[in-house]
């Protein structure tokens, strides 16, 4: 297994708080912790934007979600949600696909949905596409990743962390990386709670990690 020290590993992490009961004070505390830990970003619910009463984030980016967590929103709703998030200060948007389209093998409709949201998240803003990999077969994971590529997404992402099927796995990350190659990033999210798991995801091909247990994960890094 590879080894990264805490600052190097922190640069992979979207420090995440998507709990429905989160308060503005909780988000401010998350932001302070992200700055302290040196994470790549914070990831928060869109209703928490624009950020007010939070510390200066410095280089820490702001990410949010759309179509979350079920993905069963219309394409136009997802695009409008993403557009509003960008207008309110989001640097990155993590969208949930309509899993039914992936399971049905409807590549055209799925690609069109992702492309519509990408239009609302233009460069240099970043669009990540959550495929809920634990709920899909390997063939459907491949299909969802190809659709994300064809639609111009910047990342594919394993999970919301809310689906009963589970979160990220090394197998899913390796499979997703095999499909996208170096053409876009791969984000592992859901169930990453310790250093060894984080490093296993990176070794499998993850270039970003979604974590709520960031401090505990980084505490396990070698000095």
- Specify whether the CB–CB gap between 86 and 120 falls below 8 A: yes
Catalytic residue from among 118, 128, 140, 187: 187
4 contacts: CB under 8 Å, gap ≥ 6: 199, 202, 221
Catalytic residue from among 118, 128, 140, 157: 157
Residue 94 among the catalytic residues: yes
Residue 61 among the catalytic residues: no
Catalytic residue from among 14, 78, 94, 98: 94
**Cis before 124 (ω within 30):** yes
* DSSP assignments along the chain, one per residue: -----HHHHHTTEEEEE--TT--HHHHHHHHHHHHHHT-SEEEE-GGGPSP-SPPP-TT-EEEEEESTTT--S-HHHHHHHHHHHHHTT-SEEEEEP-HHHHHHT-HHHHHHHHHHHHHHS-TTSEEEEE--GGGS-HHHHHHHHHHHHHTT-SEEE---S--TT----HHHHHHHHHHHTTSSEEEEESS--SHHHHHHHHHHT-SEEEES-HHHHHHTS--
Residue 157 among the catalytic residues: yes
The catalytic residue positions are 94, 157, 187
């Amino acid at each position: 297994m590879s080894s990264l020290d805490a600052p190097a590993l922190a640069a992979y992490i979207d420090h995440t708080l998507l709990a429905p009961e989160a308060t503005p004070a909780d988000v401010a505390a998350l932001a302070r912790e992200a700055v302290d830990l040196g994470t790549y970003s914070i990831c928060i619910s869109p209703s928490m934007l624009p950020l007010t009463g939070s510390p200066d984030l410095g280089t820490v980016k702001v990410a949010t979600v759309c179509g979350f967590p079920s993905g069963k929103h219309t394409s136009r709703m997802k695009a409008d949600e993403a557009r509003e998030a960008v207008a309110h200060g989001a640097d990155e948007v993590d969208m949930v696909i309509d899993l039914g389209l992936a399971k049905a093998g409807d590549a055209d409709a799925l690609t069109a949905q992702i492309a519509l949201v990408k239009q609302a998240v233009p460069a240099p803003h970043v669009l990540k596409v959550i495929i809920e990999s634990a709920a899909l077969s390997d063939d459907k994971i491949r299909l969802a990743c190809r659709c994300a590529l064809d639609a111009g997404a910047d990342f594919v992402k394993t999970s919301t962390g809310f689906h009963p099927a589970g979160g990220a796995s090394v197998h899913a990350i390796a499979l997703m990386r095999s499909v996208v190659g170096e053409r876009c990033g791969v984000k592992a999210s859901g169930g990453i709670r310790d250093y060894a798991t984080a490093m296993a995801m990176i070794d499998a091909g993850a270039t970003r990690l979604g974590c709520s247990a960031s401090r505990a994960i980084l505490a396990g890094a070698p000095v």
